[in-house]
Amino acid sequence: MTKDVATISVRKRKGESVNSLIFRFNKRSRQSGLVKELRKRRFTKRPTSKIKRRASALHREDKKQEYLHKKKMGII
């Protein structure tokens, strides 16, 4: 898996104001799409293995059976 590192650099032009420099930097960062990509990847999760999914399903089933048993016995 490779990590893409985008470097966005902006040099101040002669007689350019700081606000103009910041505007150009923001424009370049928007055009690069880096922020958009990072926001898209922020909450993605890796796929879980088949063994973990199966173990989780068995655990849920056991808890469900335990709950139903307790409900039948009048504990809950």
Burial grade of 34 (CB within 10 A; 0-12, 13-18, 19 or more): middle
**44-57 pLDDT per residue, tens:** 888 999 999 999 99
Is the pTM of the predicted complex or chain greater than 0.85?
A: no
pLDDT reading at 58 higher than 50? yes
Q: From residue 55, how far is each of 32, 48, 50 by CA, in Å?
A: 42, 11, 9
**31-42 pLDDT per residue, tens:** 998 888 888 888
User: What is the reported pLDDT for 4?
Assistant: 62
State mean pLDDT over 14-22.
95
Using CA atoms, how far apart are residues 75 and 66, in angstroms rounded to an integer? Answer: 11
User: What is the reported pLDDT for 35?
Assistant: 87
What does the domain layout of the chain look like in residue ranges? 1-44, 48-76
For the packed helices 34-41 and 18-32, what is the interaxial angle rounded to 10 degrees? 50
